[in-house]
Amino acid sequence: MELWYTEKQTEYFGITAKIKETLVAEKTEFQDLAIIDTVEFGRMLVLDGMVMTTVKDEFVYHEMVAHPALYTHPNPKKVLVVGGGDGGVIREIMKHPEVEKAVLVDIDGKVIEYSKKFLPEIACELDNPRVEVIVNDGYMHIHDHKNEYDVIMVDSTEPVGPAVELFTKGFYQGIYDALKDDGIFVAQTDNPWFKADLIRNVNRDVREIFPVVRVYWANIPTYPSGLWTFTIGSKKYDPLAVDESTIPEINTKYYSPRIHKAAFALPKFVEELCK
């Protein structure tokens, strides 16, 4: 008998993958968590029925959350990751020796626990001495840490369950206050095919708070539509002003100095959402 996992990405559309084995299936305090081993994409982390990451394509998302902001800020010493309990963004941050401390705040400790056990190639830097892991509410953390971080990265699920507050103007204002005077934040902001209103609303809210706002994109096949956006809000530095010749070639599979600027060239229908 064949077993298949299906994510219903909209009421009328979804993706499906053949399962080899279910490694974890548990209802945590905050969400339904599963880790399954699939034929096409390898081990896959699923929260509340949505694919969060897979061994095969995770590098795209994690590299594109971390590197554009870190190479835009000239001296990112202290970095915060809100969410991201799988550890992929932390792994990418640790490729930047100038980062003295990275703080990970995830509300669900089970995500961290099971990622270490079943996704070691993604969670491999969570025990790095430069990393502090906190199991707590990221929304509250930023409100309790004013003027502290050079870069803040929001690696959240889609806006359901415990992540709903991470897509509000109050949260973005809290991020602004938690950043230093030249700080930068980046957040994943979903896809333009099915969540156009979300991108439009986030862009409007962030523009009312940050003087520099840029949207960029990447191709992630297991995320709804495959076209995924990210939004940067910066107090001072513009990612488009970065001299790509100063960006070193690091150990990545997707991000590169050429991609740094190319990713900000938006399809016209996405550009329209950001006006």
Catalytic choice (150, 155, 190, 205)? 155
Residue 67 vs residues 42, 92, 93, 120: alpha-carbon distances, Å:
25, 7, 8, 21
Consult the annotation and say whether 156 binds a ligand: yes
Q: How many residues does the chain have?
A: 275
Report whether 108 belongs to an annotated binding site: no
DSSP 219-275: E-TTSTTSEEEEEEEESS--GGGS-GGGS---S-SS--HHHHHHTT---HHHHHHT-
Please indicate if the annotation marks 159 as binding a ligand.
Answer: no
Q: Is 106 annotated as a binding residue?
A: yes
Give me 237's structure tokens: 């530095």
Pair 138, 153: CB distance under 8 Å: no
245-to-45, 54, 249, 260 alpha-carbon distances in Å: 36, 32, 10, 11
155 catalytic residue (yes or no): yes
| 155 belongs to an annotated ligand binding site | yes
3-state secondary structure of 209: coil
To the question of whether residue 157 is assigned a binding role by annotation, the answer is yes
Q: Is 86 annotated as a binding residue?
A: yes
221 labelled as ligand-binding?
no
H/E run at residue 20 = strand 14-27
144 is in an annotated binding site: no
Say whether 158 counts as a known binding-site residue. yes
> What residues form the annotated binding site for S-methyl-5'-thioadenosine?
31, 106, 137-138, 162
Q: What amino acid positions are annotated as catalytic residues?
A: 155
Which amino acids are annotated as binding site for spermidine, given as ranges? 62, 86, 155-158
Annotated binding site: 31, 62, 86, 106, 137-138, 155-158, 162
